[in-house]
Amino acid sequence: AQKVTQAQTEISVVEKEDVTLDCVYETRDTTYYLFWYKQPPSGELVFLIRRNSFDEQNEISGRYSWNFQKSTSSFNFTITASQVVDSAVYFCALSEAGNQGGKLIFGQGTELSVKP
């Protein structure tokens, strides 16, 4: 069965701290796709990154970096030098290639609060 677990419900940090958001997934498919979305207080869902199961290379985009480890079924997200504007709910999501419809299975989300 497919499942995404974000064990951290809420994280609070002070500006400029580094913070890592954890994501653990379960799937029986050998080909799958992992995503991170950001939901700021305004409510929209903003795509951040997609990673396919064959690409374990870590990725860095500015202050954001992602660590994908198939051995532990994890796809963690790190924000370096956090800023107040990073305050949002962050969702990790999974899509299985065997699912022709391409639905996303979301985790529960981690609410990040960055205080000045």
Partner 1 sequence: EPEVTQTPSHQVTQMGQEVILRCVPISNHLYFYWYRQILGQKVEFLVSFYNNEISEKSEIFDDQFSVERPDGSNFTLKIRSTKLEDSAMYFCASSDLAGLNEQYFGPGTRLTVT
Can you give the binding site for partner 1, defined by CB under 8 A?
A: 33, 35, 37, 43-47, 50, 52, 91, 93, 95-97, 99-109
Task: Provide the pairing of β-strand 105-106 with 88-96.
Answer: antiparallel
Q: How far is the CB of 63 from partner 1 (least distance, A)?
A: 20
| C-beta of 17 vs 113, nearer to partner 1 | 113
| C-beta of 47 vs 60, nearer to partner 1 | 47
Q: Residue 21: CB partners within 8 Å, gap ≥ 6?
A: 6, 8, 11, 76, 77, 78, 79, 90, 92, 110, 112
Vertex 23: Cα angle to 10 and 53 (nearest 5) = 160
Q: How far is the CB of 111 from partner 1 (least distance, A)?
A: 9
Q: How far is the CB of 20 from partner 1 (least distance, A)?
A: 20
